[in-house]
Amino acid sequence: MRPYCRRHSVLGRSGLADPVALVYEHRTGGKRPVRERLRSAASGTGFSLAKQGSEHMASVHRRILLAAPAALAAPALLMRKANAAEFTYKYANNLPATHPMNVHAQEAVAKIKEKTAGKVEIRIFPNNQLGSDTDVLSQVRSGAVEFFTLSGLILSTLVPSASINGVGFAFSDYDTVWRAMDGALGAFVRA
């Protein structure tokens, strides 16, 4: 009988190891019955061990397998860049997507994209998707968001005079509000 040799006891004719045989060999300290050694050699199933470059072959096959999806996706990514808009802007608000303001904003965005031949793209983020009003206000100040619909009361944290339209009963009717905001009071708030 031949002395125990890991290579002869674990590897089959194809150079592939039998995982069940490896576990059994580990548990029994390397001593397996001859019948099991022959069965594992004949099956030739399992994972590859280092036998005359088989590890290198397995890594080459793995690299090809991982590189194939990337190679297939590359043209799509390049086409996406070629068709990308020249200017991309973000418009955030705190209203639901089904609100009439957002419905009309979607229509306006579609017309803008059509009129500019796709050079200007405006992405709408309704329902506080980019954060609370104060968070989005800081994003507007930093340049991360270009357009934002907000209340004058939120803006008053930075510009105290912007809260004048939130003062209750300051105006008797809407005509007075619009005259004031379009006139000297509005100029003061916008300054």
Measured CA distances, 25 to 29, 60, 78 (Å):
6, 29, 52
Q: Do 63 and 93 fall into the same domain?
A: no
Rounded distance between C-alpha atoms, residue 34 and residue 26, angstroms: 16
- 């105006």: which residue's tokens? 171
Answer for the pair 124, 106: CB distance below 8 angstroms, yes or no.
Answer: yes
Q: Do 45 and 70 fall into the same domain?
A: no
Q: Do 140 and 90 fall into the same domain?
A: yes
Rounded distance between C-alpha atoms, residue 28 and residue 9, angstroms: 13
Q: Do 89 and 146 fall into the same domain?
A: yes
Q: Do 89 and 79 fall into the same domain?
A: no
Cβ contacts of 118 within 8 Å, gap of 6 or more: 83, 85
Q: Do 5 and 18 fall into the same domain?
A: yes
Q: What is the mean pLDDT of each run of 10 residues along the chain (191 residues)?
A: 46 50 53 53 47 53 70 66 82 95 97 95 96 94 94 87 85 91 90 82
pTM > 0.85: no
CB atoms within 10 A of CB 104: 10
- 63-78 burial code (b ≥16 CB/10 A, e <16): eeeeeeeeeeeeeeee
pLDDT score recorded for residue 167: 85
**Chain mean position to CA 88:** 17
What is the tally of structural domains in the chain? 4
Answer for the pair 49, 55: CB distance below 8 angstroms, yes or no.
Answer: yes
Q: Do 115 and 163 fall into the same domain?
A: no
Q: Do 79 and 92 fall into the same domain?
A: no
Q: Do 110 and 146 fall into the same domain?
A: yes
Q: Do 65 and 112 fall into the same domain?
A: no
Q: Do 93 and 141 fall into the same domain?
A: yes
pLDDT score recorded for residue 54: 53
Q: Do 92 and 143 fall into the same domain?
A: yes
Domain span including residue 179: 152-191
Alpha-helix runs per DSSP H in the chain: 6-10, 19-27, 34-43, 54-82, 100-115, 133-142, 152-155, 174-182, 184-190
pLDDT score recorded for residue 153: 85
| Angle (CA) 164 136 121, round 5° | 110
